[in-house]
Amino acid sequence: MTVNDVEGVPAYTINFVKRATVEFIKKPLCLLMCLLIIACSKEDDVSDDRNIDLFSTAARVVGYLPYYRFSLNDKIQYCKITHLNIAFANPKTDGTIGIQGSAMDLLKNVMDTARSQNSTIKIYISLAGGWLSDEEAETWKTFLASPADRSILVDKIVSYVLEHNFDGVDVDLEWSHVTAGYSDFILELSSALKDQSKGITAAYPSETLYDYVNAAALNALDFINIMAYDYSGPWNPAVPGQHSSYNHAQRGVNYWKNTIGIDPSKLTLGVPFYGYDFLNSTTAESFTYGAMVASNVSNSEKDNVGNKYYNGRPTIASKVKLAAQNLSGIMIWELGQDSFSTYSLLETIHKTYTDLGVETTGLCGN
């Protein structure tokens, strides 16, 4: 059977349409039947999307929650994520780590709420973050560079994990903050955590392998979160555009899977719940997806409004399908930026995986 390349309709159906059109006046019923056949063919096209080749029938959904979003704890549906990364903790000069003081009072409530909704959720403490103060950056650099100091820091991190009952550690040192000793730090931290049956992950840019990250360090990680976003932003406000397109996601997947050669079972595709508003040639500001929906619910189906660029529901769903075909999950920066409504991006991720027949949490209808 041949297929028409333009319409995706079998050739015998096209021929039938032609014959039915000639006989339209004499045999209108034929045309009606023909239209029904075409409609069925189109329905088959839609169902084919649900029959894509899956990398796995199980996937993880990793959601970051920064300490300054703890007040949204009661709005987040933890039943839709497999991993919760609490962000961020940084060391003091003596190696002691922790999130900002006032947030510590709310940390236990966040963790208890998450586990009450999802008994199998894995909660990690995420270290560092994309922005560090000069003091924090210098502290990290000092600890990473010295074997003796690294040992102190690793001990402090593991103690913090055990004290607060975390399931593991996510390392999110980025760009210039990935300094000499980083790979040794990952190896030493991984060994110490595994001695306690705890996990370790890291977040890396979409198409960059830092100079101080070696193969041994990559192998020591349980999985890697690909930050397939921030291709544009406030650092280049004169060039407005999409910071996290579907093509960007494809490039990130290809880089880590094929160029670097990481096993897809250890790769998770990052998606943004935020965007950038390019106000003028000197200024660009971030905004949340939730704010876009609050201003107009139709924005949930778009990827930009004027010079505001973000990901709407259709693009997030497409990225989930990309991940389902190629990798082992989705990562979200960050949960507090969602719209806590029927237009939720977290719900889009959850529903898309469920419709594809992929199990994430096994909860909330999955």
Q: What is the pLDDT of residues 120-176, one digit of tens each?
A: 999 999 999 999 999 999 999 999 999 999 999 999 999 999 999 999 999 999 999
Of the candidates 322, 215, 326, the residue with the CA atom closest to the CA atom of residue 271: 322
pTM of the model: 0.87
The string of pLDDT tens digits covering residues 106-135 is: 999 999 999 999 999 999 999 999 999 999
Per-residue confidence (pLDDT) for residue 89, from 0 to 100: 97
Per-residue confidence (pLDDT) for residue 52, from 0 to 100: 87
Query: What number is the average pLDDT over the span 91-99?
Result: 96
Percentage of the chain exceeding pLDDT 70: 86
Mean pLDDT score across all residues of the chain: 89
Per-residue confidence (pLDDT) for residue 102, from 0 to 100: 78
**Residue whose token pair is 């110490």:** 192
The string of pLDDT tens digits covering residues 246-294 is: 999 999 999 999 999 999 999 999 999 999 999 999 999 999 999 999 9
Q: How do the residues of the chain divide into helix, strand and coil, expressed in percent and rounded to 5? A: 50, 20, 30
Question: Is the pLDDT at 9 greater than 60, yes or no?
Answer: no
Retrieve residue 253's tokens: 């997947």
Using the Cα atoms of residue 107, residue 109, residue 112 and residue 115 in order, give the sign of their dihedral: negative
Per-residue confidence (pLDDT) for residue 15, from 0 to 100: 40
Task: List phi, psi (to 5°) of 268.
Answer: -130, 130
Task: List phi, psi (to 5°) of 17.
Answer: -60, -45
The string of pLDDT tens digits covering residues 290-318 is: 999 999 999 999 999 999 999 999 999 99
Of all helices (H) and strands (E), which one includes residue 268? strand 267-272
Question: Is the pLDDT at 49 greater than 70, yes or no?
Answer: no
| 264 DSSP β-pair partners | none
Q: Are 41 and 9 in contact (CB under 8 A)?
A: yes
Of the candidates 274, 253, 273, 276, the residue with the CA atom closest to the CA atom of residue 264: 253
Residues 6 or more apart in contact with residue 161 via CB below 8 angstroms: 125, 168, 169, 193, 196, 198
Whole-angstrom distance, CA of residue 260 vs CA of residue 207: 10
